[in-house]
């Protein structure tokens, strides 16, 4: 059981370049999230998808787009990378039920924009 | 939107000392979870608390959920170097965007041997 698979693990971009971060989960969860983590800032929500076919903005959506391709996959796209987007990005798949809540995180993508 | 305040942001302790991190919400939570992130790693689920006044233990870790379901704490007894990392709480609210799930900013635990 792979859980949440996130690719790539590391990436260096030049300012203005574009890229897509991929995320896939095999737990049949409806909810998937994208976070960025910067020193001292905790986990900041970029976008989320409560179900297949829906996406919504989180706390810091500017400069990003997302696609919920199907129930398994939720991708994050940087159309024109900026140095301020240097960060660690985490995808999470959320189990939500009347019994409770649990977030499963991918390994993270360490992105540097130069 | 809903906010979960977590303190302290950083905590330095000597190995063997105790450690506590606190989370507070201005509104009632449906449940609260705790996660641990090792340096260079990703957050990993530790536990969930659902009931008012609930207390759960995992070896040297004790988790509490307040009577009003607005605050929670994680206490580690006699810290070890393996406890190093960042501890996050995540509160779930009824309704609201993002499935009502809000993470605290985390507490970085630094242990000096």
Taking CB atoms and an 8 Å limit, are B103 and A94 in contact across chains? no
Average pLDDT over residues A38-65: 93
On whether any CB of chain B is under 8 Å from the CB of A19, the answer is: no
Give B52-103 pLDDT, tens digit per residue. Answer: 999 999 999 999 999 999 999 999 999 999 999 999 999 998 766 667 789 9
DSSP-based three-state secondary structure for A83: helix
Taking CB atoms and an 8 Å limit, are B98 and A45 in contact across chains? yes
CA distance B65 to chain A (A): 14
Identify the band that residue B1 occupies on the pLDDT scale cut at 50, 70 and 90: low
Give B8-28 pLDDT, tens digit per residue. Answer: 999 999 999 999 999 999 999
Per-residue pLDDT at B2: 76
Taking CB atoms and an 8 Å limit, are B105 and A42 in contact across chains? yes
Residue of A43, A60, A91 to mutate, interface with B, max B Cβ within 10 Å: A43
Sign of CA dihedral B14, A38, A112, A11: positive
Identify the band that residue B32 occupies on the pLDDT scale cut at 50, 70 and 90: very high
Give B79's DSSP letter.
-
Per-residue pLDDT at A29: 94
Taking CB atoms and an 8 Å limit, are A102 and B103 in contact across chains? no
Give A68-91 pLDDT, tens digit per residue. Answer: 989 999 999 999 999 999 999 999
């Amino acid at each position: 059981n792979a859980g949440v698979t996130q690719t790539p693990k590391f990436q260096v971009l030049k300012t203005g370049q574009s890229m897509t971060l991929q995320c896939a989960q095999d737990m049949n969860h409806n909810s998937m999230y994208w976070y960025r983590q910067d020193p001292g800032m905790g986990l900041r929500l970029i976008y989320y998808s409560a179900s297949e076919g829906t996406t919504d903005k989180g706390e810091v959506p500017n400069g990003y787009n997302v696609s919920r391709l199907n129930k398994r996959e939720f991708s994050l796209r940087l159309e024109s990378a900026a140095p301020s987007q240097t960060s660690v990005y985490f995808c999470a798949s959320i189990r939500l039920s009347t019994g409770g809540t649990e977030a499963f995180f991918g390994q993270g993508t360490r992105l540097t924009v130069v | 939107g809903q906010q979960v305040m977590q303190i302290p942001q950083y905590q330095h302790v000597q190995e063997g000392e105790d450690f506590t991190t606190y989370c507070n919400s201005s509104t009632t939570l449906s449940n609260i979870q705790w996660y641990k992130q090792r340096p260079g790693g990703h957050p990993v689920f530790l536990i969930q608390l659902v009931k008012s006044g609930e207390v759960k233990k995992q070896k040297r870790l004790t988790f509490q959920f307040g009577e009003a379901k607005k605050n929670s704490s994680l206490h580690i007894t006699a810290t070890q170097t393996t406890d190093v990392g960042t501890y996050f709480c995540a509160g779930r609210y009824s309704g609201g965007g993002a499935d009502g799930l809000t993470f605290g900013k985390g507490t970085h635990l630094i242990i000096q041997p």
